[in-house]
Amino acid sequence: MTFKLGLTGSIGMGKSTTAQMFADAGCAVWDADAAVHRLYAKGGAAVEPMRDLLPDAIVDGAVSRAVLKDAIGKRPALLQEIEAIVHPLVAADRAEFIETVDADILVFDIPLLFETGGDAAMDATVCVSIPTEEQEARVMARGTMTRAQFEAIRAKQMPNAEKCAHADYVIVTDTLEHARAQVHSVISQIRGELGDA
């Protein structure tokens, strides 16, 4: 029996690092953002359907996220059309992952897990969390976006407290050691349940 664990958390909370800790501990990890990158890459399954929708978005045989972002900014309704193409392809990618991996715990790294209702397909969910001030400091330290861009992304996400309240497990990512200890604790609990099943 395999156990499906949904991993989520707002921007800058340490989700990617935590996902890697689950992988290091022997879990199989599927990353929603990486799946989209594969679909948008040259030869990816989203390239031709996107070419039909928005020919300008195809640059050097791949889908340009910058062009998409710009187009959505000018025409917000376009986002729904893009999602109608991408979401089924992402779901197919996830289904293939489930079919092909061999691990007792499958971790699904999905930023908008609760917002999209993806938690319904999981056996349990885990949310990574740190205080708001630290979240902001981490994101700003990356130097990849302005404070306004960060606030805009955060505004689209379910508030951290709400995510934590929805989750079966919460991992506080204040230090790597603390996060790793919590990851191992979650895995132990799940494997205990699998052993009892």
Whole-model pTM? 0.89
| pLDDT (0 to 100) of residue 152 | 85
Please spell the DSSP secondary structure of 101-160, one letter per residue. ---SEEEEE-TTTTTTTGGGG-SEEEEEE--HHHHHHHHHHHTSS-HHHHHHHHHHSPPH
Phi–psi pair at 117, nearest 5 degrees? 75, 10
Question: Whole-angstrom Cα distance, residue 87 to residue 134?
Answer: 32
Phi–psi pair at 101, nearest 5 degrees? -85, 155
Answer for the pair 30, 94: CB distance below 8 angstroms, yes or no.
yes
Domain with CATH 3.40.50.300 in the chain: 1-27+105-197
Is the pLDDT assigned to residue 196 strictly greater than 80?
no
Question: Whole-angstrom Cα distance, residue 84 to residue 80?
Answer: 6
When pLDDT is cut at 50, 70 and 90, the band that residue 197 belongs to is low
CATH superfamily of the domain spanning 1-27+105-197: P-loop containing nucleotide triphosphate hydrolases (3.40.50.300)
Give the tens place of pLDDT for each residue, 9-30: 998 999 999 999 999 999 999 9
| pLDDT (0 to 100) of residue 194 | 87
Answer for the pair 131, 28: CB distance below 8 angstroms, yes or no.
no
